[in-house]
Amino acid sequence: MLLYVAATFVLWLLSGAVAVSAGLFMAAGAGAGRRWMRGLSGSATTLTRGVPTSLLVVAAGLASIRIPPQRWMPDLFPGTASGSVPVAWAIVVALAAGSAGHFAVIFRTAYIALGRARLEQSVALGMSPARRLTLLAREAATAAIPPTSARLVHHLHNTAFAALFPVADLFGWIENGANATFDITRYVLAGGTAYVVLSAMIWVGFKALEFHLRATFRPGRPSSRATPDIDVAAIDVAAISGTP
């Protein structure tokens, strides 16, 4: 059973990392200055949110199941036969596509939640783009972490679709064990417990990160690492901009 838990974790970790990265990219594109970039990001967000993840996984699995294994393609999936590595990677991409749009909306909403005054204040400080991005990202993280962790738990459950193809994961172990022994209750309870434990670990990890950020970096008061020579709380944006 531990082998299949490990396989599920690898599928979740790889596809989740790709989904979060794509979500950040699309969220950044939604706020770009050029209209075509905003349109492209918005279309990608809508498309990836609208197509069911199960359909994406089925399409990816069917499209890749006849692809022969490639030497350059790493085999990172415990319990998966080497001949099915292309299928596993295709499913990773499909799972990531199913969550990327949701992450984009989460990150974009957290950024907007900072408020116009806060965003204008960060510009008025005259920081470099890298320092400004770091500052706003840390402030927005406290709002983005709870929905991000919830989506990653749901993303974990989406990995069950990988069992439709010859890729080892926890849900496939439940199906095979129940079909082979007809002892459905035992396998369902064992597999369900494993999913609950994995989900709880994700939630606890992100909750700890949230508490850490709130304790070390309160909104409106950036850390000394971000702006060592500026007290943002003491700056009056209206006075800087000259507005009454």
pLDDT at 145 over 50: yes
Question: Which two three-digit tokens encode residue 72?
Answer: 């350059």
Question: Which two three-digit tokens encode residue 102?
Answer: 């949701």
Average pLDDT over the chain reads 81
The pTM assigned to this predicted structure is 0.76
Segments making up each domain of the chain, as ranges: 2-241
C-alpha–C-alpha distance, residues 206 and 195, integer Å: 17
Neighbours of 140 (CB within 10 A): 21
DSSP string, 9-46: HHHHHHHHHHHHHHHHHHHHHHT-SSHHHHHHHHHHHH
C-alpha–C-alpha distance, residues 100 and 114, integer Å: 22
CATH ID of 2-241, from 2.40.70.10, 1.20.1560.10, 1.10.3720.10, 1.20.1430.10: 1.10.3720.10
Question: Which two three-digit tokens encode residue 219?
Answer: 């909104």
Which is more confidently placed, 193 or 120?
Answer: 193
The string of pLDDT tens digits covering residues 50-100 is 888 989 999 999 989 888 888 888 888 988 888 889 999 999 999 999 999
C-alpha–C-alpha distance, residues 162 and 58, integer Å: 9
Residue 16's pLDDT is what?
Answer: 95
Which is more confidently placed, 131 or 4?
Answer: 4
DSSP string, 201-227: HHHHHHHHHHHHHHHH--TTS--TTT-
Which of 62-66, 138-142, 148-152, 153-157 has the weakest average pLDDT? 138-142
Q: Is the dihedral of CA 103, 106, 112, 115 positive or negative?
A: negative
